[in-house]
Amino acid sequence: MDVADKKYFMKYNDATGRKLRPLIHDFEEFFQTGSDLEESDLEILMSLAYYLWNLDGKTDVISEKTDTTIMNEPTVDEIERAMLAYGIIFEKTLSEKNFHELVYDLSGILKGPNKKTPVVEYRRVPVAIFDRRRRRVYTPPGPEFLGALMNAVFSQTVLLLKQELSVSEIFYHASLIHLRVIQIHPFVKNNVKAAVLLEKWFLKEMLGKSFVKLPSEKYYFEEKDRYNMNTLTGTAFNNIDDARCLPFLQMLPESLKIREI
């Protein structure tokens, strides 16, 4: 399904969209942000960086006492890379070129004195998604399709950014962008991080800089099993069932309720 598709919007709006305005009002009052990042903003983003770094990968530790996922400790370098990515979202407009720069910084590619221009290529190899038991659960599209698929995501996103959308439509399309990137899986690693940040970037462009601090990373981490289940809408890219998208689309608004990070 294209990120601009509105086929399931009415169902989404009936179930979730009509509740958004009061949630957004309360969020903006609590997380309001000026034109520049202040020290308090950076503290929030640094906290969110820990959750962001724990969204990818299959090294989760489950506490036997509480049956919850324990957060792994990212390195200082990983936190610094996440902060660079947040800075790009905050300062730059959403585009495919700037998205590549974000992934470039997030990945720590070519660090050091010989660091070149921030160019990131989509993966050149086939990949598969496995669950914790190492069972294959999803096969993304082959590398030969990635350029056209990601170009379509950004072409449609740019058109959405030019439209007058309701708050409900903005959240609906932000989640579709997130889901589509997960389905395409354009990189060998960091796909979940990239999708979460792109979703947040779209919200920031449409609703303001306060949304860079939306604690969606924390919500997705705390609901990681449900997040993984809801992003699996098929066993392969060519048999995705778009009708199964609503449970995932309904997750993002829940992060508006979080106040402690």
User: What is the model's pLDDT at position 259?
Assistant: 86
User: What is the model's pLDDT at position 39?
Assistant: 84
Which class does domain 9-257 fall in? mainly alpha
Mean pLDDT of 228-249: 96
Give percent above pLDDT 90 in the chain: 74
Number of C-beta neighbours around residue 82 at 10 A? 24
Mean pLDDT of 247-258: 96
Whole-angstrom CA distances from 180 to 23, 188, 217, 233 are 25, 16, 17, 11
User: What is the model's pLDDT at position 133?
Assistant: 86
Q: How confident is the model at residue 118 (pLDDT cuts 50, 70, 90)?
A: low
Of the given ranges (23-32, 33-42, 155-164), which has the lowest mean pLDDT?
Answer: 33-42
User: What is the model's pLDDT at position 203?
Assistant: 98
Q: CA 11, 171, 157, 248 torsion: positive or negative?
A: negative
- Inform me whether the pLDDT recorded for 164 exceeds 60: yes
User: What is the model's pLDDT at position 64?
Assistant: 36
Question: Which residue did the predictor score with more confidence, 1 or 221?
Answer: 221
Question: Which residue did the predictor score with more confidence, 193 or 112?
Answer: 193
Q: CA 42, 44, 47, 48 torsion: positive or negative?
A: negative
User: What is the model's pLDDT at position 72?
Assistant: 77
CA–CA gap between residue 80 and residue 32 (Å, rounded): 23
Are the C-beta atoms of 91 and 112 separated by less than 8 Å? no
- Inform me whether the pLDDT recorded for 126 exceeds 50: yes
Please calculate the CA angle 249-167-150 and round it to the nearest 5 degrees: 55
Question: Which residue did the predictor score with more confidence, 1 or 11?
Answer: 11
CA–CA gap between residue 150 and residue 155 (Å, rounded): 9
- Inform me whether the pLDDT recorded for 47 exceeds 70: yes
Domain assignments of the chain as residue spans, ordered by start: 9-257
Please tell me what DSSP assigns to residue 136.
Answer: E
